[in-house]
Chains A and B, each alone.
Chain A
Amino acid sequence: MFTPERAICAASLVLAIMTGASLAETPNLGKPIDEAAIAAWDISILPDGTGLPNGSGTPAQGAVIYAAKCAACHGDNGKGGAAAALVSDRELAGINAAQKTIRNFWPYSTTIFDFIRRAMPFQMPRSLTDDEVYALTAYILAENKLIGATDMMDAQTLPKVKMPNRDNFIIRFPDRI
């Protein structure tokens, strides 16, 4: 039943909430920006393929780009040079991180695309087209025998590549997530 006392109670409650809100007031100096304006920066990709761009590439196309833009540091056919090997059939034995390879350790194929697109080539990051990144990713996966020699990689096929070590991880502190 509505009574004056209840009305006062309700009014006090509203006042209390408003006071609480004013205590938490922040400067609000951020400038609103829409996702279209962020697009050039938004290179985040999730392992389920969310965020992968349009485009595609094959191992054969990737081989040509690799020889021109990657082999100087990563060696012929990805066997390693001044920078890490990208192609290896080495198995994990013992705890030394130096043995980690894309084939024996990397749990998600999307990570290869993501790292190339954001950080490679070392001297000219963000200079590759999305097609080139797909082609290089396809080349590395094919050389590691994780996809077929003619398999095309794009936003649909790449996240479906099953990496051998995917299920071999233990979340260290689940309660912190």
Chain B
Amino acid sequence: MAKARYRNARGQTLEAAAGNGLIDRRALLGRGMVFAGAMSAGIGPSAAGAEPLADDPWSLEVGDPMPAYQVPSKFEARVARTLSNPNHEPRNSHARTPHHLLEGTTTPNGLHFAINHAGVPTIDPDKHRLVIHGLVKRPLEFTLETLSRYPMISRVSFLECGGNSAPMFSPEPMQETVQALHGLVSCAEWTGIRLSTLLEETGIDPAAKWLIAEGADSPHLSRSVPVKKALDDAMIVLYQNGERLMPGNGYPMRLLLPGYEGNMNVKFLRRIKLVEQPAMSMYEARTYSQILPSGKAYRFYFLQEVKSFITSPSHGMMLKGPGLYEISGIAYSGTGRIEKVMISADGGQSWAEAALQEPVLSKAFTRFRMPWRWDGGPATLQSRAWDEAGNVQPTRAEFVAARGELTKPAPVLGFPNQHYNSITSWGVGSHGEVKHVYA
């Protein structure tokens, strides 16, 4: 294929960066791109031109009163979480983030994913207590009021369910949106107190190797966490993107273990007990242990490994004719910062490096972007991420070789296995339709 030549607004000439229309990411540095070569259909101004302008009604009347707490425009009502248990049946409930309808790296609080195992508890913050006890020198009780006087830190961190992306264990690509496939991960700025600060006050018996964190919700959800992680970067979080935690995300306080599977980040946190050995609660002994092809199972996976997916274009979208598009997506790693993201438009035959939106933060969403000229032919879009520790996101074939796949498709809302992090592929058809494919 002959390489197309483009010029950005600074006059730099840019080469095609990889096959099937990927353009050098430096094209994004300018304010726009000017095509030096022949124009393609759909790129230049329409020959017909625009209609004459007139004032719309909203430009001729006074608007609505301002609400005390504002919500998005009524025209954005479709930008919502999908619910796995809308009728509140007696079982767990999942709400998935609509990544294909969002941009940037911050998940709005109303759209942050949540999983609750017996509804969302209504907790009176004045009555809530956090107790730290067990193998400590001094057991202590904290209230929200007293914790509010402690030195706080803020950090941006993704939070991901260990079962996110589980539909991709299916042997065939499930025809589902990025929200259904990857909606159980979100990213927010969390503010609270370092757990190590509180453990410094209680003192730790050297025999303590684990802590058991427990919530005040009706299942009294409980997980064991290594003291090693507690002293590293664990936090007791009170604020989410600047305001108090959302009820479904753990109000009035939760544990945050940056980079570790969501279920361990115990919400409605009321008790931390330091112990010598893990409790082997149901969620660690059964639910978050992953069956391997050998018949054995992983235990204490903890880490959400390096992952990325393209949010636009993605499954269910329609490209309106050949021309210039921006490929945009999210990358993150529980190990640290994202080092680079590579993009392919030809199913992995050739790759080019995407631009990473600053700031690139450790254990946080990193937005990547890549200019792409769709020529109207078949294309398979993929992203692949590397983290600063050198971990690389596996191809689907590599992932399946290590972890196996199902013999037949499972329900899209089910969790047949966990900790899935391979490349996601979107196939673009000749009419511009985008579908989930395996490549």
Interface residues of A, Cβ cutoff 8 Å to B: 24, 26-35, 38, 41-48, 50, 73, 82-83, 92, 94-100, 105-108, 110-111, 114-115, 118-119, 122-123, 125-126, 168-173, 176-177
5 contacts between A and B (CB under 8 A): A29-B146, A31-B142, A82-B90, A119-B118, A125-B118
Contact A169/B416 with A26-B197, A26-B200, A177-B300 known, Cβ cut-off 8 Å: no
The answer on a CB contact under 8 Å between B285 and A111 is yes
9 nearest A-B residue pairs (beta carbon): A30-B140, A119-B219, A118-B220, A29-B146, A169-B299, A172-B301, A115-B282, A95-B404, A33-B141
Q: Is B372 on the interface with A (CB-CB < 8 A)?
A: no
The answer on a CB contact under 8 Å between B297 and A168 is yes
Binds A, one of B9-17, B80-88, B288-296: B288-296
Binds A, one of B45-53, B57-65, B131-139, B174-182: B131-139
Inter-chain CA distance A126–B219, complex, in Å, is 9
Inter-chain CA distance A146–B275, complex, in Å, is 28
Contact A122/B139 with A26-B197, A28-B201, A96-B406 known, Cβ cut-off 8 Å: no
A101's nearest neighbour on chain B, judged by CB, is B286
**Chain A residue contacts of B301, Cβ below 8 A:** 172-173
Inter-chain CA distance A115–B214, complex, in Å, is 12
**Chain B residue contacts of A44, Cβ below 8 A:** 134, 212, 214, 222, 273, 275, 279
Q: Is B91 on the interface with A (CB-CB < 8 A)?
A: yes
Interface residues of B, Cβ cutoff 8 Å to A: 89-91, 117-118, 131-134, 138-142, 146-147, 149-151, 169, 197-198, 200-202, 209, 212, 214, 218-222, 226, 228-229, 270-271, 273, 275-282, 285-287, 289-293, 295-303, 403-407, 410, 414-418
The answer on a CB contact under 8 Å between A97 and B201 is no
**Chain A residue contacts of B291, Cβ below 8 A:** 92, 94-97, 99-100
Inter-chain CA distance A105–B297, complex, in Å, is 9
Which residue among A96, A100, A122, A171 has the maximum number of chain B CB atoms within 10 Å of its CB? A96
**Chain A residue contacts of B289, Cβ below 8 A:** 105, 169
**Chain A residue contacts of B290, Cβ below 8 A:** 95, 97
The answer on a CB contact under 8 Å between A47 and B90 is no
**Chain A residue contacts of B287, Cβ below 8 A:** 97
Beyond A96-B416, A110-B280, A119-B221, 16 additional contacts (C-beta under 8 Å) are A26-B201, A31-B140, A31-B146, A32-B140, A38-B131, A41-B270, A50-B275, A82-B89, A111-B280, A118-B220, A168-B295, A168-B296, A168-B297, A169-B297, A172-B301, A177-B300
B275's nearest neighbour on chain A, judged by CB, is A46
The answer on a CB contact under 8 Å between B141 and A27 is no
Inter-chain CA distance A42–B42, complex, in Å, is 67
A94's nearest neighbour on chain B, judged by CB, is B407
Min C-beta distance of B427 to chain A, whole Å:
26
The answer on a CB contact under 8 Å between A73 and B297 is no
The answer on a CB contact under 8 Å between A45 and B279 is yes
The answer on a CB contact under 8 Å between A114 and B131 is no
The answer on a CB contact under 8 Å between B416 and A97 is yes
Inter-chain CA distance A48–B200, complex, in Å, is 28
The answer on a CB contact under 8 Å between B281 and A114 is yes
The answer on a CB contact under 8 Å between A92 and B295 is yes
**Chain B residue contacts of A82, Cβ below 8 A:** 89-91
**Chain B residue contacts of A47, Cβ below 8 A:** 277-280
The answer on a CB contact under 8 Å between A29 and B410 is no
**Chain B residue contacts of A119, Cβ below 8 A:** 117-118, 218-221, 282
The answer on a CB contact under 8 Å between B90 and A73 is yes
The answer on a CB contact under 8 Å between B279 and A98 is no
Contact A106/B279 with A95-B406, A177-B228 known, Cβ cut-off 8 Å: no
The answer on a CB contact under 8 Å between B90 and A123 is yes
The answer on a CB contact under 8 Å between B139 and A125 is no
The answer on a CB contact under 8 Å between B293 and A170 is no
Contact A30/B201 with A35-B139, A111-B280, A177-B228 known, Cβ cut-off 8 Å: yes
The answer on a CB contact under 8 Å between B285 and A31 is no
The answer on a CB contact under 8 Å between A171 and B299 is yes
Inter-chain CA distance A114–B221, complex, in Å, is 11
Min C-beta distance of A137 to chain B, whole Å:
13
Which residue among B91, B142, B201, B291 has the maximum number of chain A CB atoms within 10 Å of its CB? B291
**Chain A residue contacts of B212, Cβ below 8 A:** 44
Inter-chain CA distance A118–B142, complex, in Å, is 22
The answer on a CB contact under 8 Å between A95 and B169 is yes
The answer on a CB contact under 8 Å between B285 and A122 is no
The answer on a CB contact under 8 Å between A170 and B298 is yes
Inter-chain CA distance A11–B352, complex, in Å, is 62
Min C-beta distance of A177 to chain B, whole Å:
5
Inter-chain CA distance A126–B220, complex, in Å, is 9
Contact A95/B405 with A30-B202, A41-B131, A82-B90 known, Cβ cut-off 8 Å: yes
Contact A125/B220 with A176-B303, A177-B226 known, Cβ cut-off 8 Å: yes
Min C-beta distance of B390 to chain A, whole Å:
16
The answer on a CB contact under 8 Å between B300 and A176 is yes
Inter-chain CA distance A160–B138, complex, in Å, is 33
Specify which of B133, B219, B226, B285 is in contact with A35 (CB 8 Å cutoff): B133
B139's nearest neighbour on chain A, judged by CB, is A33
The answer on a CB contact under 8 Å between A170 and B299 is yes
**Chain A residue contacts of B134, Cβ below 8 A:** 44
A120's nearest neighbour on chain B, judged by CB, is B219
Specify which of B90, B214, B281, B416 is in contact with A122 (CB 8 Å cutoff): B90
The answer on a CB contact under 8 Å between B200 and A24 is yes
Inter-chain CA distance A127–B214, complex, in Å, is 18
Inter-chain CA distance A151–B112, complex, in Å, is 48
B169's nearest neighbour on chain A, judged by CB, is A95
